[in-house]
Structure formats: structure tokens, C-alpha cells
């Protein structure tokens, strides 16, 4: 049984993230989503809020968890054989490739699998979405309705 972990900040979760989860579900026996607790960032949503949003918008059966530290260590501790990552741009590839090789060096038993999003979601980023909301723009085609509503509550009040 191949268990995949899709780690990220998910601040906020986008339709691109959901697209990647759906693609992962088709490839692996199970897919879990893990919210990274990164003290270096200043997220809009707390880890708990991001986990709650993910649980509400992800398909049934997708586990949502959080982690601190190295994702490969988390994978080893929780028996995930695959790290699922999305590639939108060449810049993503360069960063993700370097990370995947580093992870492989540390934990050769954990494989990284790159999946490309659908073209509809290939240009969307969480930071771009936050910028649009801060400036009163419409992000309905980029995030689930619940996420847009909560983003507006956080960023426009």
C-alpha cells in the first residue's frame, strides 16, 4: 500500500491544491494533507484554521494533519512512502527538484512525486489570492466559496 503525503502551508487552500489532491487520489492508495507549521512565515490563518478549512473542502477520506520540522522525518515516523508535490512553473521545478534530491539523500525510502496541475490552476498561488482579496478583487474562480468568505473576513475587516 502506497501512502502519499501532500505537505504545504495551504494559506489559503486553493482549487489548485484540491486539483492536486484529486490527482493524487487517482495515483496512490491513500493521500493525506499536512499543514506545515512554519514559524518563519506570518500566515493569515492559524494552523488550526487551515486544517479546519481543508477538512471542509477536501474529499471524504483524505486525512488532514500538521507537522513541524522536516517533512521526510514526518513521512518516516508516520509511514508515508511518497511526498506529493505540485509543479506550476519552472521556478517551482528548480526549488522542488533541489528539495527532492535533498530529501532523497536524507531518506532514500521516501520518494517525491511531482504532479502538474490542470492548466486552469497552473498560475494560481496563495500569495496572489491574498493580494487580490486585500484589494477587493474576485477570487471565486481560484478558491472554494467557503475559503473566499473566510479570507474576506480576515483581510477586509
Q: Just list the catalytic residues.
A: 17, 41, 88, 126
Helices 126-134 + 145-155 axis angle, to 10: 60
Q: Which three cell numbers stand for residue 91?
A: 521556478
3-state helix, strand, coil in the chain (%, to 5): 45, 20, 35
- State residue 150 phi and psi, 5-degree precision: -70, -35
Indicate if the alpha-carbon torsion angle 74, 48, 23, 138 is positive or negative.
Answer: negative
Instruction: Say how far apart CA 140 and CA 129 lie, in whole Å.
Output: 10
∠ CA 25-31-33, nearest 5°, is: 125
Amino acid at each position: 500500500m502506497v501512502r502519499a503525503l501532500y505537505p504545504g502551508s495551504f494559506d489559503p487552500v486553493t482549487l489548485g491544491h484540491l486539483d492536486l489532491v484529486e490527482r493524487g487520489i487517482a495515483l496512490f492508495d491513500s493521500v493525506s494533507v499536512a499543514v506545515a507549521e512554519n514559524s518563519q512565515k506570518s500566515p493569515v490563518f492559524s494552523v488550526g484554521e487551515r486544517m479546519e478549512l481543508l477538512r471542509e473542502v477536501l474529499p471524504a477520506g483524505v486525512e488532514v494533519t500538521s507537522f513541524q520540522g522536516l517533512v521526510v522525518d514526518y513521512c518516516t515516523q508516520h509511514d508515508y512512502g511518497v511526498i506529493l508535490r505540485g509543479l506550476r512553473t519552472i521556478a517551482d521545478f528548480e526549488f522542488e527538484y533541489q528539495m527532492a534530491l535533498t530529501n532523497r539523500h536524507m531518506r532514500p525510502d521516501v520518494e517525491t512525486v511531482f504532479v502538474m496541475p490542470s492548466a486552469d490552476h497552473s498560475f494560481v498561488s496563495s500569495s496572489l489570492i491574498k493580494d487580490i482579496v486585500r484589494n477587493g478583487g474576485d477570487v471565486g474562480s481560484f478558491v472554494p466559496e467557503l475559503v473566499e468568505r473566510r479570507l474576506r473576513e480576515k483581510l477586509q475587516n
